[in-house]
Structure 1
Amino acid sequence: MIQKPFLWAHKDSGVNKLFAILDKIIAGINKNVAVIGMALGIAITAINVSVRYIAGFYPEIGSLTWAEEVARYCFLWSAFFGAAYGFRKGVHISVTMLVEKFPPALAKTCVLLTHILNSIFLGFMFYASLMVCYLNYEIGYMSEALHEVPLWVFLLCLPIAFLGATYRSIEKIYEVSWTDADKVVKNAEEEMIHDSVIKD
């Protein structure tokens, strides 16, 4: 029990079911927001470019003054939620060559420590981004183009995405904790290859 502090949860069907539900919800939100944000950003940019081109012949048409800012925030939401989704798929860059040379127990300790430090950093970023949204709310900053929309609404992608990424990192701590030391590095590599190929 000391070596595997989360083993009880791993064997509990209720906890596993809870993890499965959370996994589907968070993965669905991250993936869909990333895809929709990217699609909207591209569509708005393309439409704005077309309108500006036509406006060269018909100046009275003008251009979409809000398009550039909205497209920028669409790409921002897409990037951050896509990055959070990347934690689930294990597609973020990592160098395991050195860890692979370590004895199993030391390799597991290094991987576990990496996820712990990662969770602390992401948790801090969640708090910091939450404070950014709160400060913008307190000051009352509004969007430059959409004057009726508060700026903090667009910035909500930061705390939400960092919260999802923090959960994923803590989930990795849980997984590594109950995994046998001699299987940690191998499982991580197999998971990365599997999730990079399998689409969900």
Structure 2
Amino acid sequence: MKFLDHLEEWFIAFLMGAATLVIFVAVVHRYLSGLAIPGLQDWLITLNTSWAQELTIYMFVWMAKFGAAYGVRTGIHVGVDVLINRLNTPWRNKFVIFGLLAGATFTGIVGTLGASFVWELSHTSSTSEVLELPMWMVYSAVPLGSYLMCFRFLQVTWAFIKTGDLPKHDHSHVEGLEEEIHGAKA
């Protein structure tokens, strides 16, 4: 279960690294193709990197869906709680639980509608324009990201019911740094 605790970070980090590499290769290819170097220029022009833009767009869509789940888990997801925080504790807690369960319900519905759409799409021959990927693979980001976000809402709700605490993102905290500092002192 420890792996699930950081699923979003690993997946987003992988996609960011891969997207950076793909864009870097495409830019270098484009630049070098413009140089009048006999043989090299001819060879580079035969290589097609038009797929790079489409692939990175799809990667960013996946990053956005999984990033939203990360935001719920860590407490950095957008929320308007100015009025709720002014309520007395029992009422505040009820509204917080209602809001979290509403988020879980909404993302569960979006996940289910997305899964239905992906299922229907998987029975067609629809493919992406350049990469010619089956479109159901591209749109799978919607149900997978939404279900993960629903799961994270339920996790936060359960933790709030047990402890009364919501995840708070500390911008000054760097995870793993304490262990490194303590290891250096030892």
Normalising by structure 2, we get a TM-score of: 0.80
Structure 1, unmatched stretches of 5+, are 1-20
Alignment size in residue pairs: 169
Structure 2, unmatched stretches of 5+, are 36-40, 177-186
Which residue number in structure 2 is paired with residue 110 of structure 1? 95
Higher share of residues assigned helix: 1
Structure 1 distance, partners of 2:98, 2:30, is 52
Q: CA deviation at 1:91?
A: 0.8
Structure 1 distance, partners of 2:17, 2:127, is 25
Ranked by relative contact order (alpha carbons within 8 Å, sequence separation 6 or more), the top structure is 1
Q: How does 1:138-149 map to 2 (within 5 A)?
A: 138-147=123-132, 149=133
Q: Residues 93-138 of structure 1, C-alpha deviation per residue, up to 9 Å, x if partnerless?
A: 2233322211111101110110111111100110121122112211
Q: How does 1:11-50 map to 2 (within 5 A)?
A: 21=1, 24-50=2-28
Structure 1 distance, partners of 2:18, 2:146, is 22
Which residue number in structure 1 is paired with residue 136 of structure 2? 152
Counterpart of 1:171 (choices 133, 137, 155) is 155
Query: For the Cα contact (< 8 Å) 2:62–2:141, is it kept in 1?
Result: yes
Q: Residues 150-184 of structure 1, C-alpha deviation per residue, up to 9 Å, x if partnerless?
A: 121222222111111101111222223334xxxx4
Which residue number in structure 2 is paired with residue 61 of structure 1? 44
Which residue number in structure 2 is paired with residue 71 of structure 1? 56
Q: CA deviation at 1:197?
A: 2.3
Query: For the Cα contact (< 8 Å) 1:126–1:163, is it kept in 2?
Result: yes
Shift in CA distance, 196/140, structure 1 to aligned 2, threshold 3 Å: farther
Tell whether 2:139 aligns with 1:161: no
Identity %, equivalent residues: 21
Q: Which runs of 4+ in 1 moved over 3 A?
A: 193-196
Which residue number in structure 2 is paired with residue 5 of structure 1? none
Structure 2 distance, partners of 1:136, 1:168, is 27
Aligned residues: CA RMSD: 2.1
